[in-house]
């Protein structure tokens, strides 16, 4: 093991982990803002409950995204100082814009939203969740601008061996970015869709198990009620509405993911042909999309790779929109890369001990091949399941089957898996480059960087091993804590976020007395709060 | 000296000052979760004085880091890789602290709360010390070679200035937090906070004053003597005003101490952003470490709109949540009931 490999593992682990929290934050934030809007406009109780419940889960998850995001911001300089020096002129700008234009809005307005129940005027309170939600989307744009520049550098000139930004507009409208951004946002929304669907299914199932809701002779639900307001008829509305929103969102966002993914693939066939060839384990030129290839993917050796099942013409369609264009395989691409970028790393001190070693232009095929397929499969499965779920609940509730409920709950993981697999594919597929060369005829020559040159020369193997172990240990522990906490709040249902529901149906004054616990506001917005003799916080840590 | 790099040096100094002023008190409040606060209600009062604002305060740190990356990539690369281990600890500390603040009240169990209390207290302490050490070292130097890489191993950064900087920020945070609690809490906590300020302020500000004084002596700029004096006046005023019961003005006095102190520090070292302790020729300066004028120009436009906007809406949140938090304002804890 050398420092470079540890640094790469660390970046991979911390980034994939961070990106478990990010899509849920982006997707759920948007849905909570929409629920809050529905409550603001209709005043209906179920929308308030939905806002509070999903808002609570949103916050539990949000903080983990924030906490692990800081690691990303610092890690470039800490472990990848040569990278930071090389790209700083163009790469740092979108990061700084993200902090200044998105992170501030996100965190400050979220603070206003969390603590603003019963204190802010209703419209301002609603505005604050929208600001926070849109800021998370905005931050995705900036960080994807930075990432897209690594995939497809634009807007720079080489001066003194470093890319210097000459056109910020080109960086912010990089065609790679324009498809990666909607692809990522749709992917994030699909995560939130599956999340709503799985948890709501569980609660509808539990209401049936406990005999609250029953099904009539015509198959339609007969909504029942328990004395506790936590399990009244409105509670049924909360879950059914949430489930339908989640399912519709999952289906629609999958359509969005597919369309943008298609555009992205077509771009990638041009911009990083080797990545797409490796996604296919396609050694020879051809038109077919591999369903199953045999051979030792791990050996990365083209000699023994055979596509056993393939869809004729499909690869050509993915890349070009027709069925008979030969797509260049690895055997064709490899000599082209070797001719342009050399067969061995140059004798430059920036490569340290790696100087002069042979360059492997073929990404790790077992990762790219399966990453690409896992992404697509999980995405499709989640969307198909959501469509089926929508049909299953057409009469107002879910079946009594425990297994179906479990499937719905574990199905939450599928869109997460698709997101992670997609990122692992696209980042590993870019190797051995950290900044991939821009092959456009009018692109910039010589702007590329081998990952081998990017790592911090001054940071020792021991330091990296320490940090990798520490981050992995802490992240692993916190993941367990977060999932347990989320599960407890999910099981608790709406009263977990609105404990006042557990008490008797109450008058306004009685409510005020036991206005207890986190998020416990009575939902009356800015009215009537200042007149109270007490000044009990409507939200308190 | 070129204009735009100098402007961005000032902008980054501004971000660090803003960070120390804002997160200074919430880090201090975090440290006081153990030791100062005596029971659960008091801890909840403490947390809720910073509750709506701490996350926004922390963005100042992210912005300081990102702005350094954008404007001075050489500085960012050398400083962050050179201080690899301490920054790992700062990051872990900030993670524990953030998660602790959010999760502490989410389960009604004494063990759960006690665990997170320690996470918040130690996390705040380590983060403050680490950031202080980092700022101390960027003003006094690291063993950097010609490429800007640290030489001499994982602990080569460690010296007295790292400790001085760390102590300076930790002590400042504590007294700043006490002044903040004086202003934002009520009842017994407010009284005890006042006692902390009166007793500890004269001692707690000494490390930061010493750090600034060292830089004044090393660099010998007349103007920094003046700003250091202003800082001293701010500190004295903060103490006298606290004694007189003028909470708001006392807090302002501490603010003057901090701003004058950081102005002293950054003015003293200018135009060097990170000295090399091996060879002066390897020093990183505003000119040698900066991005191109085009990039700095773009960032200037962004900052010109972004910074005033941040000040307005962040100011608004402080105004919305301006009321004092007292023990009686804390609602009862509730368990997550599983149906």
Determine which helix (DSSP H) or strand (DSSP E) holds A290, and give its type and residue range: strand A289-294
Per residue in A78-95, pLDDT tens? 999 999 999 999 999 999
Minimum CA–CA partner of B155 in chain A: A463
List strand residue ranges (DSSP E) for B193-314, in order. 272-274, 284-285
Q: What is the DSSP string of A276-290?
A: HHHHHT--S-BSPEE
- CB contact under 8 Å between A79 and B81, yes or no, is yes
Q: Among partner residues B95, B153, B299, which is closest to A460 by beta-carbon distance? A: B153
Nearest to A482 by CA among A17, A9, A12: A17
Give the C-alpha distances (Å, rounded to integers) separating A417 from A383, B99, B207: 13, 24, 50
B91 touches chain A (CB under 8 A): yes
3-state secondary structure A425-463: HHHHCCCCEEECCCCCCCCCCCCCEEHHHCCCCCCCHHH
Residue B145, min C-alpha distance to chain A (Å) = 9
Q: Closest residue of B to A512, CA-based?
A: B331
**Is B23 an 8 Å CB contact of chain A?**
no
B337 closest CB neighbour out of A112, A159, A492: A492
Contact A57, A27 (CB under 8 A): no
Quick check: B147 and A96 CB within 8 A?
A: no
Nearest CA in chain A to B298: A168
Nearest CA in chain A to B327: A536
Rounded to whole angstroms, the Cα distance separating A113 from A73 reads 25
Cis bond leading into A264, ω under 30°? no
Chain B contacts in chain A segment 458-487 (CB below 8 A): 458-460, 462-463, 466-467, 470-471, 474, 478, 481, 485
How much is the mean pLDDT over chain B?
94
Residue A444: predicted pLDDT: 77
Of A98, A103, A112, nearest to B320 by CB-CB distance is A112
Integer Cα distance of B22 and B64 in angstroms: 13
Residue in A116, A467, A537 nearest the CB of B88:
A467
C-alpha span between B276 and B151 (Å, rounded)? 10
Local structure of residue B51 (DSSP, 8 states): T
Q: Output the 3-class SS for A140-174.
A: HHHHHHHHHHHHCCCCEEEECCEEEECCHHHHHCC
Q: Which residue of B has its CA nearest to A89?
A: B291
Give the gyration radius of chain A's Cα atoms: 26
Report DSSP state, residue B325: B
Check residue A521 and give its pLDDT: 40
Going by C-alpha positions, the residue among A455, A88, A21, A78 that lies closest to residue B90 is A78
* Beta-bridge mates of residue A289: A311
CA dihedral sign, ordered B109, B111, B117, B120: negative
HSE, side-chain direction, 13 A CA sphere, residue A24: 29
Is A122 within 8 Å of B111 (Cβ atoms)? no
Instruction: Check if the beta carbon of residue B213 is closer than 8 Å to that of residue B259.
Output: no
Taking contacts as CB-CB distances below 8 angstroms, the residues of chain B near A467 are 84-85, 88
Nearest to A450 by CA among A361, A366, A364, A371: A361
More confident position, A357 or A524: A357
The residue-averaged pLDDT of A163-169 equals 95
In Å, how far is A411's CA from the nearest CA of chain B?
A: 22
Q: Pick from A380, A379, A388: which is nearest to A247 by CA?
A: A388
Q: Is residue A99 less than 8 Å (CB to CB) from chain B?
A: yes
pLDDT surpasses 70 at A300 = no
Digit-coded pLDDT (tens) for A101-139 = 999 999 999 999 999 998 899 999 999 999 999 999 999
Q: How far is residue B322's CA from residue A453's CA, in Å, rounded to a whole number?
A: 51
The DSSP 8-state label assigned to residue A483 in this structure reads H
Task: Check CB contact under 8 Å for A99 and B339.
Answer: no
Confidence (pLDDT) at A446: 82
CA A475 to chain B, closest CA, distance in angstroms equals: 9
**What is the rounded distance in angstroms from the CA atom of residue A539 to the CA atom of residue A535?**
11
CB-CB under 8 Å, B92 with A474? yes
Optimal mutation site among A10, A111, A231, A455, interface B, most CBs of chain B within 10 A: A111
How far does the CA of residue A220 sit from the closest CA of chain B (Å)? 25
- A interface mutation test: which of B119, B123, B318, B336 has the most A CBs within 10 A? B336
How many CB atoms are located within 10 Å of the residue A479 CB?
A: 14
Write a three-state SS string for B139-168: HHCECECCCCCECCCCCCCCCHHHHHHHHH
Strand residues in chain B grouped as ranges (E): 272-274, 284-285
Contacts of B61 in chain A (CB under 8 A): 70
- Residue B82: closest CA among B152, B19, B20, B13: B152
Looking at residue A301, its pLDDT comes to 66
Which chain A residue lies closest to B40 (C-alpha atoms)? A541
Quote the pLDDT of residue A520. 39
Give the Cα separation of A15 and A468 in Å (integer): 12
Residues of B in contact with A103 (CB under 8 A): 59, 62-63
Name which of A414, A408, A345, A344 is nearest A374 in CA terms: A414
Query: In 10 A of CB B244, how many CB atoms?
Result: 10
In this complex, the residue of B62, B84, B331 whose CB is nearest that of residue A99 is B62
With a CB-CB cutoff of 8 Å, which residues 104-133 of chain A face chain B? 104-105, 107-112, 114-116, 119-120
CA distance A485 to A409: 16
CB–CB of B333 and A517 under 8 A? yes
Q: Are A420 and A20 in contact (CB under 8 A)?
A: yes
Chain B positions in Cβ-Cβ contact with residue A76 (cut-off 8 Å):
69, 76, 80
* Residue count (chain B): 339
pLDDT band at A515 (very low <50, low <70, confident <90, very high): very low
DSSP letter (8 states) at residue A103: I
Q: Measured between CA atoms, how close is A275 to chain B, in angstroms?
A: 29
The pLDDT of residue A505 is: 55
Phi, psi of A434 (to 5 degrees): -95, -35
Q: What is the mean pLDDT of residues A290-300?
A: 68
The helix/strand/coil state of A308 is strand
Mean pLDDT for back-to-back runs of 10 residues, chain B (339 residues)? 91 97 96 93 93 94 96 96 97 96 91 95 97 96 94 93 97 97 93 95 95 93 94 96 94 96 95 94 94 95 95 93 87 68
| CA–CA–CA angle B213, B217, B223 (5° rounding) | 80
Question: Which residue of A21, A57, A68, A104 is the best one to mutate when testing the B interface, meaning the one whose CB has the most B CBs within 10 A?
Answer: A104
**Partner-chain contact A105 B74, CB within 8 Å:** no
Closest CA relative to residue A333, chosen from A401, A269, A267: A269
Which residue in chain A is spatially nearest to B289 when comparing CA positions?
Answer: A85
| Average pLDDT score over residue span A517-522 | 40
Do the beta carbons of residue A225 and residue A233 sit within 8 Å?
A: yes
Nearest Cα of chain B lies from the Cα of A283 at a distance, in angstroms, of: 39
pLDDT of residue A516: 37
Q: Which residues of A touch B323 (CB under 8 A)?
A: 535
- Whole-number pLDDT of residue A230: 85
A535: pLDDT confidence band, cut at 50, 70 and 90? Answer: low
Q: For residue A285, what pLDDT is reported? A: 80
Interchain contact A85–B (C-beta under 8 A): yes
Q: Are B284 and B273 in contact (CB under 8 A)?
A: yes
Spatial distance between the Cα atoms of A396 and A213, rounded to a whole number of angstroms? 10
**Given a cut of 70, is residue A266 above it in pLDDT?**
yes
Half-sphere exposure of B246 (CA within 13 A, CB side): 11
CB neighbours of B28 closer than 8 A, spacing ≥ 6? B124, B128, B173, B174, B175, B176, B177, B178, B180
| Sequence-separated (6 or more) residues with CB below 8 Å from residue A169 | A155
| Distance between CA atoms of residues A396 and A122, nearest Å | 32
Selected residues 7-36 of chain A with any CB under 8 Å from a CB in chain B: none
Residue B281 to residue B146: CA distance in whole angstroms: 8
pLDDT at A512 over 50: no
Q: What is the DSSP letter of B224?
A: H
Q: In whole angstroms, give the CA distance from residue A108 to residue A401.
A: 44
Rounded Cα gap, residues A41 and B180, in angstroms = 39
Judged by CB atoms within 8 Å, which residues 128-167 of B form the interface with A? 145, 147-151, 153-154
Q: What span, in angstroms and rounded, lies between the C-alpha atoms of B250 and B237?
A: 7
Task: Name the 3-class secondary structure at A282.
Answer: coil
CB-based contact B97:B33 (threshold 8 Å): no
Residue ranges of B 263-302 with Cβ closer than 8 A to chain A: 291-292, 294-295, 298-299, 302
Residues 497-516, chain A, touching B (beta carbon < 8 A):
499, 502, 514-516
> Residue A303 pLDDT > 80, yes or no?
no
């Amino acid at each position: 093991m050398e420092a470079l490999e540890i640094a790469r593992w660390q970046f991979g682990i911390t980034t994939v982990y961070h990106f478990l929290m990010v899509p849920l934050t982006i997707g759920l934030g948007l849905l909570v803002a929409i629920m809050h809007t529905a409550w603001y406009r209709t005043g209906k109780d179920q929308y308030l409950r939905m806002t509070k419940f999903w808002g609570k889960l949103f916050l539990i998850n949000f903080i983990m995204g924030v906490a692990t995001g800081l690691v990303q911001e610092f890690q470039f300089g800490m472990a990848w100082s040569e990278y930071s020096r090389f790209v700083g002129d163009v790469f740092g700008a979108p990061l700084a814009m993200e902090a200044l234009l998105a992170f501030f809005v996100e965190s400050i307005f979220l603070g206003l939203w969390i603590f603003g129940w019963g204190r802010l005027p209703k419209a301002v309170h609603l505005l604050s969740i929208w600001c926070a939600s849109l800021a998370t989307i905005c931050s995705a744009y900036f960080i994807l601008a930075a990432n897209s520049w690594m995939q497809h550098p634009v807007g720079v000139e080489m001066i003194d061996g470093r890319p210097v930004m000459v056109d910020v507009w080109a960086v912010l409208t990089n065609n790679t970015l324009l498809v990666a951004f909607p692809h990522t946002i749709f992917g994030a929304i699909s995560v939130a869709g599956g999340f709503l669907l799985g948890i709501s299914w569980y609660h509808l199932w539990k209401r049936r198990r406990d005999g609250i809701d029953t099904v009539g002779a015509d198959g339609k639900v007969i909504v029942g009620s328990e004395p506790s307001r936590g399990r009244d008829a409105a509670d049924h509305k909360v879950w059914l509405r949430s489930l339908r929103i989640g399912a519709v969102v999952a289906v629609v966002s999958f359509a969005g993911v597919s369309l943008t993914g298609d555009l992205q693939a077509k771009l990638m066939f041009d911009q990083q042909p080797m990545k797409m060839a490796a996604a296919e384990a396609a050694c020879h030129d051809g038109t077919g999309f591999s369903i199953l290839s045999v051979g030792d993917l791990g050996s990365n050796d083209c000699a023994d790779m055979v596509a056993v099942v393939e869809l004729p013409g499909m690869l050509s369609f993915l890349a070009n929109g027709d069925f008979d264009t030969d797509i260049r395989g690895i055997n064709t691409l490899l000599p082209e890369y070797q001719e342009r970028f050399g067969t061995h790393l140059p004798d430059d001190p920036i490569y340290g001990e790696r100087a002069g070693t042979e360059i492997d232009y073929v990404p790790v095929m077992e990762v790219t091949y399966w990453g690409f397929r896992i992404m697509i499969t999980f995405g499709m499965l989640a969307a198909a399941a959501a469509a089926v779920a929508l049909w299953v609940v057409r009469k107002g509730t879910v079946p009594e089957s425990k297994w179906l409920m479990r499937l719905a709950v574990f199905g939450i993981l599928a869109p997460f898996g698709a997101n992670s697999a997609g990122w692992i594919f696209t980042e590993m597929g870019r190797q051995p480059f950290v900044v991939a060369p821009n092959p456009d005829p009018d692109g910039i020559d010589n702007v590329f960087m081998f990952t081998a040159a990017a790592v911090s020369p001054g940071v020792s193997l021991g330091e990296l091993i320490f940090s990798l172990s520490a981050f992995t240990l802490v992240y692993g522990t916190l993941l367990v804590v977060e999932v347990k906490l989320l599960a407890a709040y999910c099981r608790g249902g709406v009263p977990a976020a609105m404990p006042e529901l557990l008490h008797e149906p109450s008058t306004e004054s009685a409510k005020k007395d036991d206005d207890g616990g986190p998020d416990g506001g009575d939902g009356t917005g800015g009215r009537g709060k200042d007149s109270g003799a007490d000044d009990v916080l409507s939200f308190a840590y | 000296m070129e204009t735009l790099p100098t402007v961005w040096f000032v902008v980054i100094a501004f971000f660090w000052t803003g960070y120390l002023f804002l997160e200074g008190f919430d880090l201090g409040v975090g440290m006081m979760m153990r030791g100062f606060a005596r029971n659960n209600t008091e801890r909840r009062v403490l947390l809720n004085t910073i509750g709506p604002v701490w996350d926004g305060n922390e963005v100042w740190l992210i912005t300081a880091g990102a702005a350094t990356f954008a404007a001075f990539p050489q500085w960012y690369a050398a400083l962050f890789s050179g201080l690899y281990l301490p920054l790992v600890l700062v990051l872990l500390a900030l993670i524990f602290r953030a998660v602790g603040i959010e999760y502490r009240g989410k389960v009604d169990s004494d063990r759960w709360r006690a665990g997170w209390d320690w996470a918040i207290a130690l996390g705040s302490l380590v983060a403050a010390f680490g950031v202080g050490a980092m700022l101390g070292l960027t003003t006094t130097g690291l063993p950097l070679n010609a490429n800007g890489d640290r030489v001499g191993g994982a602990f080569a950064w460690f010296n007295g200035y790292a400790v001085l900087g760390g102590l300076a920020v930790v002590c400042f945070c504590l007294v700043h937090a006490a002044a903040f609690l004086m202003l934002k809490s009520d009842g017994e906590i407010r009284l005890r906070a006042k006692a902390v300020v009166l007793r500890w302020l004269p001692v707690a500000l000494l490390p930061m004053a010493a750090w600034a004084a060292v830089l004044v002596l090393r660099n010998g700029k007349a103007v920094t003597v003046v700003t250091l004096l202003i800082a001293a006046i701010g500190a004295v005023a903060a103490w006298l005003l606290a004694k007189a019961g003028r909470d708001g003005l006392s807090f302002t006095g501490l603010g003057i101490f901090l701003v004058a102190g950081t102005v002293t520090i950054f003015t003293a070292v200018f135009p060097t952003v990170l000295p090399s302790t091996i060879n002066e020729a390897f020093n990183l300066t505003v000119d040698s470490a900066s991005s191109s004028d085009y990039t700095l120009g773009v960032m200037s436009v962004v900052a010109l709109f972004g910074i005033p906007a941040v000040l307005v809406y962040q100011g608004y949140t402080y105004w919305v949540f301006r009321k004092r938090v007292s023990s009686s304002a804390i609602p009862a804890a509730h368990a997550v009931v599983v149906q």
